[in-house]
Amino acid sequence: MQQEITDDLDALMEVLPPPLQKNLQELNDEDELLEVVLDLGRLPEARFIDREVVLSSSDVTEDDIEYIASRIGRFGDDNRAGIQRTLHRISAIRNREDKIVGLTCRVGRAVYGTIEAIRDIVESGNSMLLLGRPGVGKTTMLREVARVLAEKRRVVIVDTSNEIAGDGDIPHPAIGKARRMQVKTPSMQHAVMIEAVENHMPEVIIIDEIGTELEAAAARTIAERGVQLVATAHGNSLDNLMMNPTLADLVGGIQSVTLSDEEARRRRTRKSVLERKAPPTFDVIVEIQDWERLVVRHDVADAVDAILEGRFIPPQIRYRDEQGEIHIEEMAFPAAEEAPHLSPRETVRRRHPLAIYPYGISQHRLQQVAKGMKVSVTMVDDLADAEAVFTLKHHYRKRPHDISEAERKGIPVYVLRSNTTTQMESCLADIFGVRVDLDPLAHAAEETQRAIEKILGGARSVELSSQNSYIRRYQHEMARQANLHSRSRGKEPRRRVRIYPKN
């Protein structure tokens, strides 16, 4: 079980104006306190895990802000300050004249046991990147990683905002035997990262919040020198990271490649494709969904390649249950015998491959689907060479020139609801008259994605089809990644998932 240690909450209470201290103590809920927020001319608030409470009926004054600012450390270039020998963090909001008009006083806690679910990865020696939204516990987990690894290896922490090891020259005991290097200004973090490797012979480098191209380049340099790197970055998932031009280099970078005519024919794809530019800086990515649930991608290179090619590699799910037990689930596909079958159709034999003109869909994915179904297709770049056009519903509605031209020439236009393998399989099955084995997980994923789009479009709730417990867990996972709520309803065998907004 986790053992949570609040780092001298009294020290944070003492820097608050006395009336706020008194009201906060009367709430008697310090264990759930996340932060205290003060904005000039507004009512002060205390934010807890599940609620927000107004601390006073009087607006925050300049004297209140000055009272706090005079009792804490100096604000750095990142507008963050701390309290000596604690993990508490005070962040400032300034006006155009550089005057402080708001403060966020966040409670810093050292939590021991947060990495038990990934301890095997931490101790494996592989470089690891922790992803997650702000406030989900990345820094807390990073601090515990440093403490655990420092028991057997030389660990150096590059602590830009003093958030990992606390304010002051003496680091907090929560980092154990790890050494800490402070950074004068956030813009120098990349330089201190390199300095740590060159001057102090670490076996492990710990970095919080990689956020610039220079820091991403420095991280690559460190990894190439054989040093284990453990870092954090903002982002919900690997897909988000790949779409971030600043941080995409952490997973190898994405580039557009123009293939030769021969290679394009061999791959049966267009001449311009997206590929990974270089080996990833990190071997493993851990997506932190909440305090008790993690998504692990063990082979970052393979995962990135799969996303670019339109393939799906199920991640590993690790979570802690209510009894404190760690569970590890491999998100493998269900056994083939569980899959329902379409009624067989007579196969249509063709003397040459079906020439398809793909408009707005993943042609590589379509080729992979056709290959798996053992039907012969070829992709063409010129509408004049096409025997069929494949497009998506939202493209077809706009009637672009190519679609209108195909209909005018009498070329069949096949409209897919979504750019998924399930839709492609169904369409090719109708064209070639073949039997396909529908993957129940892929079908459920497609239904779930459509439901998520409806919720994001304003629907109050969407109820999905009945599924077994394995597929329901996968649907809940998709809802979590979309930052939505989900709940199972009904009784077996008709138990099903309902998705709805968080607010």
Q: At which residue do the structure tokens 């039907």 appear?
A: 375
Judgement on whether residues 305 and 369 belong to the same structural domain of the protein? no
Q: What is the pLDDT of residue 349?
A: 44
Domain boundary among 307, 330, 353: 330
Burial class (CB in 10 A: 0-12, 13-18, 19+), 421: buried
Question: Which has the closest alpha carbon to 308: 354, 255, 351, 271?
Answer: 255
Q: Is the pLDDT of residue 413 over 70?
A: yes
Chain segment 414-468, per-residue pLDDT in tens: 888 777 777 788 788 878 777 655 556 667 777 888 888 888 888 888 999 888 8
Q: Which helix (H) or strand (E) holds 306?
A: helix 300-309
Q: Which tokens belong to 497?
A: 């998932």
132 shares its domain with 274: yes
* Same-domain check for residues 173 and 319: yes
Q: Which residue among 110, 134, 150 closes a domain?
A: 110
Residue 212 belongs to a domain:
yes
Q: Could you give the residue ranges of the DSSP H alpha helices within 111-212?
A: 119-122, 138-149, 189-200
CA count, 13 A, side-chain hemisphere, 48: 13
Same domain? For 95 and 140 the reply is no
The domain total for the chain is 4
The pLDDT assigned to 440 comes to: 67
Q: What does the pLDDT read at residue 348?
A: 40
For residue 122, the domain's CATH number is 3.40.50.300
- What is the helix (H) or strand (E) element at residue 224, kind and residue range? helix 213-224
Residues 128-144, mean pLDDT to the nearest whole number: 90
Tracing tokens 């800490």 back to the chain, one arrives at 180
What local confidence, expressed as pLDDT, does residue 89 receive? 92
Helix 189-200 to helix 213-224 angle (10° resolution) is 20
Please name the residues in contact with 69: beta carbons below 8 A apart, sequence gap of 6 or more.
75, 81, 92, 100, 103
| Residue 109, pLDDT above cutoff 90 | no
Residues 209 and 314 in one domain: yes
Residues 147 and 295 in one domain: yes
Domain annotation covers residue 267: yes
Query: Looking at the predicted structure, is the pLDDT value of residue 333 above 50?
Result: no
CATH code of the domain covering residue 367:
3.40.50
Same domain, 117 and 106: no
Answer yes or no: do 373 and 234 share one domain.
Answer: no
Q: What is the extent of the structural domain holding 24?
A: 3-110
Where a domain ends, among 295, 330, 365? Answer: 330
179-222 pLDDT tens trace: 999 998 889 999 999 999 999 999 999 999 898 999 999 999 99
Average pLDDT over residues 326-351: 49
Q: Say if residue 152's pLDDT is above 90.
A: yes
pLDDT value at residue 338: 36
Both 105 and 117 in a single domain? no
CATH of the domain at 481: 3.30.1370.50
- pLDDT at residue 42, as a whole number: 96
Query: Does 86 share its domain with 120?
Result: no
Q: Would you say residue 434 lies in a domain?
A: no
- For 232-301, the DSSP string reads EEE-SSHHHHHT-TTTGGGGT-EEEEEPPHHHHHHHTS-SEEEEE-S--S-SEEEEEEETTEEEEES-HH
Is residue 291 included in any domain, yes or no? yes
Q: Cβ neighbours of residue 85 under 8 Å, at least 6 residues apart?
A: 8, 166, 167, 168, 170, 172
Q: What's the rounded mean pLDDT across residues 124-153?
A: 92
pLDDT of residue 94: 97
- The pLDDT value recorded for residue 106 is 92
Predicted pLDDT at 320: 86
Rounded mean pLDDT of the chain? 85
Pick the closest to residue 219 from 288, 282, 165, 276 (CA basis): 282
CATH number, domain with residue 88: 3.30.450.90
**pLDDT of amino acid 6:** 59
Contacting residues for 359 by C-beta, under 8 A, at least 6 apart: 389, 390, 391, 395, 400, 402, 403
Structure confidence at residue 175 (pLDDT) = 94
CA 386 – CA 207 distance, rounded (Å): 53
- With beta carbons less than 8 A apart as the criterion, state whether 252 and 280 touch: yes
Q: Are residues 390 and 472 both part of a single domain?
A: no
Judgement on whether residues 287 and 139 belong to the same structural domain of the protein: yes
